[in-house]
Amino acid sequence: MSFSDLKKQSSIGSLTSKLVKEVEKMNNSGGGGDDRLWKPEVDKVGNGFAVLRFLPAPDGEDLPWAKMYSHAFQGTGGWYIENSLTTLGQKDPVSEHNRELWNSGIDSNKEIVRKQKRKLSYYANIYVVQDKANPQNEGRVFLYKFGKKIFDKVMEAMQPEYEDETAINPFDFWQGANFKLKIVKKDGYWNYDKSEFEAASPLLSDDDAMEAIWKKQYSLAGLTAEDQFKSYEDLERRLKYVLGQKSSTPSPADEETEYDGYAAKESAERQIQESLTRSKPDFNSPDITASTPVASKDEDEDDALSYFQKLAES
């Protein structure tokens, strides 16, 4: 761009408009998030709609989804946002700490456990059929992170409850079906109950085009590879720091995970809103009354309570 062009843009305000759009793009992407991930958007009243197609397992992998446990909560020392080693079937310091709290039998400690519980998430490759909020995503392959509510709908499609319903494999190119993702805001939370699969049909009429899509898929096994998790010792050190149990100067690892940046802060706030505030209430607790409103089960509902009950009995 020449200096005269720069001056011309200044006079018509196009450069300002371009900069504003770039800032909006940064904000919408969470300040540098993972470009592989597709995320739904809702309007001002909390409604959202998109049409997705779950894709088969990537080449060389067995499952078309990956399962991940994680923790996201705030302590006196900052945020703790980490993948849980229980994903790999290993001991995790947060789960160990939560077990001690749960076994204490103290209601206030059980409430802490609910706020620090594991969050269950799934990842799958998807093809975006329709995304009016971001039409540039249509016809592209992304990773999609979702919770138990949507995963249950996938399982219901494969194992229908009623005899007059035909089972489908949602991850099949030819015999699968498009998924209509419908989001409504209910009691302050995103609700996915109205989401549903369309009738079974091929994704495209051209096998070569579908093969090209298949080759663009991302590895799912790599998401839960051991190198994606910190060691027990590093996680324990971070946990103690977040819980305020370490009064000395934080280590470089602690400083790096302070989550003071915009993207991490936004992620933390989103995860706290979507996960921690949706803990299942204990109706045996004196703090819960019959008039207390109960949030409906959503896609982030976890088996945390039964998980800790099993730990307590072991």
In the prediction, which pLDDT does 274 show? 45
d(CA 104, CA 120) in angstroms, rounded, equals 25
Q: For residue 11, tell me if it sits in a domain.
A: no
Domain encompassing residue 109: 32-281+291-313
Contact 38, 137 (CB under 8 A): yes
CATH at 56: 3.90.198.10
Q: Answer yes or no: is 23 within a domain.
A: no
Please classify residue 94 by burial: count the beta carbons closer than 10 Å to its beta carbon, then call 0-12 exposed, 13-18 middle and 19+ buried.
buried
Q: Quickly tell me which residue has 């280590």 as its tokens.
A: 251
Amino acid at 266: E
pLDDT (tens, 9 = 90+) of the chain, 314 residues, equals: 555 665 565 655 555 666 565 555 555 544 457 899 999 999 999 999 999 999 999 999 999 999 999 999 999 999 999 999 999 999 999 999 999 999 999 999 999 999 999 999 999 999 999 999 999 999 999 999 999 999 999 999 999 999 888 999 999 999 999 999 999 998 889 999 999 999 999 999 999 999 999 999 999 999 999 999 999 999 999 999 999 986 444 555 554 443 434 344 444 444 444 443 343 333 333 232 222 233 334 444 444 444 444 444 44
Provide the pLDDT for residue 13. Answer: 59
Find, among 118, 120, 119, 122, the residue nearest to 63 by Cα: 122
- HSE-CB for 188 with a 13 A CA cutoff: 9
Give, for 26, the enclosing helix (H) or strand (E): helix 14-28
Number of structural domains, the chain?
Answer: 1
Q: Where are the strands (E) in 177-291, listed by range? A: 179-186, 189-191, 196-197
Predicted local distance difference test score (pLDDT) of residue 188:
87
Burial zone of 53 (CB within 10 Å; 0-12 exposed, 13-18 middle, 19+ buried): buried
Residue listed under structure tokens 């009354």: 289
Residue 15 lies in a domain: no
d(CA 117, CA 94): 8
Q: What number of helices (H) and strands (E) belong to the chain?
A: 10, 9
Q: What is the DSSP letter of 293?
A: -
Determine, yes or no, domain membership for 193.
yes
Q: Examine residue 5 and state whether it is found in any structural domain, yes or no.
A: no
Provide the β-strand partners of residue 185: 190
Give the Cα separation of 271 and 183 in Å (integer): 17
CB 137 within 8 A of CB 61: no
Whole-angstrom distance, CA of residue 162 vs CA of residue 144: 28
| pTM confidence score | 0.72
What is the pLDDT, as a whole number, of residue 314? 47
What's residue 34's pLDDT?
86
Assign 291 to helix, strand or coil. coil
Radius of gyration of the chain (CA): 22
Residue 121 lies in a domain: yes
Which helix or strand (DSSP H or E) is residue 73 part of?
A: strand 65-75
Query: Cα(291)–Cα(282) distance, rounded to whole angstroms?
Result: 14
Give buried/exposed letters for 246-273 (b at 16+ CB in 10 A, else e): beeebeeebeebebeeeebeebbeebbe
| C-alpha to C-alpha distance for 303 and 280, rounded to whole angstroms | 10
172 in a domain, yes or no?
A: yes
Position 307 in a domain:
yes
The Cα 199–Cα 75 span in angstroms is 47
